[in-house]
């Protein structure tokens, strides 16, 4: 029984570490803002955002930003956007 518990706990920690490790960061200037789709273009890549994050960020074209994002279902989802 304890071997099963140990393997389960180990699998959970490996899964959490893998999800944290898949985050990436990119810096640059915003090339385009798509308010209808809640996306921004940065270095010819589209970054999707949640409605709440998009509305609170108040992004403008030409603004220098640093974007932290995750890959989810083949799309880049911006989790954090900071002005540089």
Tens of pLDDT along the chain (84 residues)? 566 666 665 555 555 555 556 789 999 999 999 999 999 999 999 999 999 999 998 999 999 999 999 999 899 999 999 999
Is residue 46 situated within a structural domain? yes
Is residue 5 situated within a structural domain? no
Virtual CA dihedral for 53, 57, 58, 59, nearest 10 degrees? -100
CB 29 within 8 A of CB 64: yes
Structural domain containing residue 66:
23-83
Q: How many domains does the chain have?
A: 1
Is residue 4 situated within a structural domain? no
pTM exceeds 0.85 for this model? no
CATH number of the structural domain spanning residue 47:
2.40.50.320
Is residue 9 situated within a structural domain? no
């Amino acid at each position: 029984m304890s071997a099963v518990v140990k393997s389960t706990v180990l699998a959970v920690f490996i899964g959490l570490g893998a999800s944290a490790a898949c985050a990436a960061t990119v810096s640059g200037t915003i090339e385009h803002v798509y308010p209808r789709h809640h996306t921004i273009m940065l270095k010819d890549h589209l970054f999707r955002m949640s409605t709440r994050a998009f509305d609170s960020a108040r992004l403008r074209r030409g603004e220098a930003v640093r974007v932290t994002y995750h890959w989810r279902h083949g799309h880049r989802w911006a989790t954090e956007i900071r002005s540089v």
